[in-house]
Amino acid sequence: MPAIGADPMQILAAAVSPVVLVSATAILISGSNARYISISDRVRSLTREFRDETCTPQRRNTISREMTTFMRRIRLVAWAVRVLYAAVGCFVTVAIIISASSRHAMLSAATIPLFATGTGLIMAAIICQLLELQSSSRTIQLEVSDVLPSRRHRKSSLGDSSDRRD
């Protein structure tokens, strides 16, 4: 970190790195918010369909099973957004500390731990997003389960009892 009395341009240059990470994290937050909105809209749509009196019991069963997965997905995305905002807080704090380090050398010792914490938080958010993505496959499988015939049904309708892959 720049020492007391360091050139202001050095301090500014050092403060740019966390600012760039704030911008990158903001892009991740935007994508996560879009996923949250999309999942929320799908949940509202399915609950509306579930409450419709023309909805069949089989469809209601499918929707109920999907809701469990959708709720898990929405929790994961919400945690990802929270963690990303915490990372932004870390990076902004690092930039402020770097900017103030010409006057308070003691503060500069906190920059590396805060920077590492922010980076770790981004990794945690990425893991949440990957888990949500994995869960999204489950909702798709549930959604198509009552539309596409099961593998067993396809074999019997084709008159093929072998275990070959389609």
pLDDT of residue 100: 76
pLDDT of residue 136: 87
Is 161 a residue whose pLDDT tops 50?
no
Handedness of CA 33, 38, 44, 50 (dihedral sign): negative
Q: Which residue has the higher pLDDT, 109 or 154?
A: 109
Is 52 a residue whose pLDDT tops 70?
yes
Using pLDDT thresholds of 50, 70 and 90, give the confidence band for residue 132.
very high
For the residues 143-147, what does the mean pLDDT come to?
Answer: 75
Q: Which of 8-12, 13-17, 84-88, 114-118 has the lowest mean pLDDT?
A: 8-12
Is 27 a residue whose pLDDT tops 60?
yes
Alpha-helical segments (H) within the chain: 8-51, 57-100, 111-145, 151-158
H helix or E strand, kind and range, residue 165? none
Q: Which two tokens stand for residue 149?
A: 């015939």
Q: Which two tokens stand for residue 115?
A: 């920077």
Using pLDDT thresholds of 50, 70 and 90, give the confidence band for residue 16.
confident
Is 112 a residue whose pLDDT tops 50?
yes
Q: Please name the amino acid found at residue 71.
A: M
Mean pLDDT of the chain: 82
Using pLDDT thresholds of 50, 70 and 90, give the confidence band for residue 45.
very high
